[in-house]
Amino acid sequence: MSNNTEIKVNEISNEWIGWIEEAVSKKHIKYYDYNHFSNIQEIGCGSSGRVYRVCWRKPHKYFALKSFYKLNQVTAKEVINEVFII
């Protein structure tokens, strides 16, 4: 994905969620199976969900795992914006 990519999406539709699913299927965004995480520790929470520190398969490889209370159009849009920021 390029930083120059513009997303022209109708916010009323399911296109935000579709964009995320397509990015995962095209491997622009990595998908990790939840059962590969261990040592899950909550490190923060906010209005849209919680953040956890987790180990992934290997003992010293850590990730921040975000869990959303509700995946809706607003949350999906925020996820996409964060992907572009990173």
Residue 70's domain comprises: 33-77
Total domains present in the chain = 1
Residue 17 is predicted with a pLDDT of: 77
The answer to whether residue 4 is domain-embedded is no
Interacting residues of 75 by C-beta distance below 8 A, sequence separation 6+: 48, 49, 68
pLDDT in tens, 18-56: 888 888 899 888 888 888 889 999 999 988 889 999 998
| Residue 45 located in a structural domain | yes
Question: Is 68 part of any domain?
Answer: yes
Region of residue 46 (phi > 0: left; psi between -120 and 50: alpha; otherwise: beta): beta
Do the domain assignments include residue 38? yes
Report if residue 52 sits inside a domain.
yes
Residue 44 falls inside a structural domain = yes
Residue 82 belongs to some domain of the structure: no
Residue 58 lies in a domain: yes
